[in-house]
Amino acid sequence: MKVALAQLDQEAGDVPENLDRAAAAVADAADRGVDLVVLPELFTVGYFAFDAYARDAEGLDGPTFARLSDLAADHGVGLVAGSHVEDLEASAAAGVDVPAETGLANTCVFYDREGVRRGVYRKHHLFGYGSTETELLTPGETLSTVDFEGITVGMSTCYDLRFPELYRRLADRGVTLVCVPSAWPYPRVEHWETLGRARAIENLTYVAATNGAAAFDDETLLGRSTLYDPWGTAVASAGDDPTLVVGDVDPDRVTTVREEFPALRDRRE
């Protein structure tokens, strides 16, 4: 299966413009025969545009999520739709299970080739260092996995990379690809590269770490989106400019690696 990591530039607080950038990337990926596209964290509003979170939040049936669903359906691709600020009250009113009756969440949705919502993941670990995310958002409580054309896909988000327990739980659910929409800034380049590779090695799975490439007032996202294989080898990667990173994910390779090097079976609780 061919996977594309869309490393997008972003304009703080300009959701329509940022959605247009995503639409262009998804169209480019589809033209290149990609099966699954992964967008970055909060690319719609821009992670560091904290003042815009409440203004641009919406329920899962809102116009931004609808546009992302349409992108998947129009181009016939699976879409890990980065993340957007979800209005939990609006989602609850539409009959969606939510972790709290009110508040906001950093929410990633998986859409299949028909644009059907197949999975929802709300970021578990909220970032407080140089960020107001912990003050503005409600953490998620459940994991999400989706079976997509022979691949079991799990979702996590950015800061989650620092918490290996989450990825081990996904591995226990049989995940063969973990998608990590992110907004990882300079100067923590070594952390970004090490943690993504480590999560792949520890769990003998593919990891699609998809970062933004954008400058905000005081922060710059470092790009370097990378697809790691189950050995932690970079299958495809980028620098710090906006681009599309394309690589292949082979579920049989996950099976082979786990049989040849059965570290998961040797684990002791």
Catalytic residue among 133, 158, 179, 193: 158
Exposed e or buried b per residue across 228-238, where buried means at least 16 C-beta atoms within 10 angstroms of its C-beta? bbbebebbbbb
Catalytic residue among 41, 86, 133, 193: 41
* Residues 157, 41 contacting (CB under 8 angstroms): yes
Residues whose CB falls within 8 Å of the CB of residue 54, separated by 6 or more in sequence, listed in order? 85, 104, 136
Strands 234-237 and 226-228: antiparallel
Rounded CA gap, 210 and 234, in Å? 13
Q: In the annotation, is 108 catalytic? A: no
Catalytic residue among 58, 86, 123, 179: 123
| The two structure tokens encoding residue 117 | 């919502």
* Residues 172, 155 contacting (CB under 8 angstroms): no
Q: In the annotation, is 41 catalytic? A: yes
Q: In the annotation, is 123 catalytic? A: yes
Could you identify the residue written with the tokens 């954008």? Answer: 214
- Catalytic residues, by residue number, are 41, 123, 158
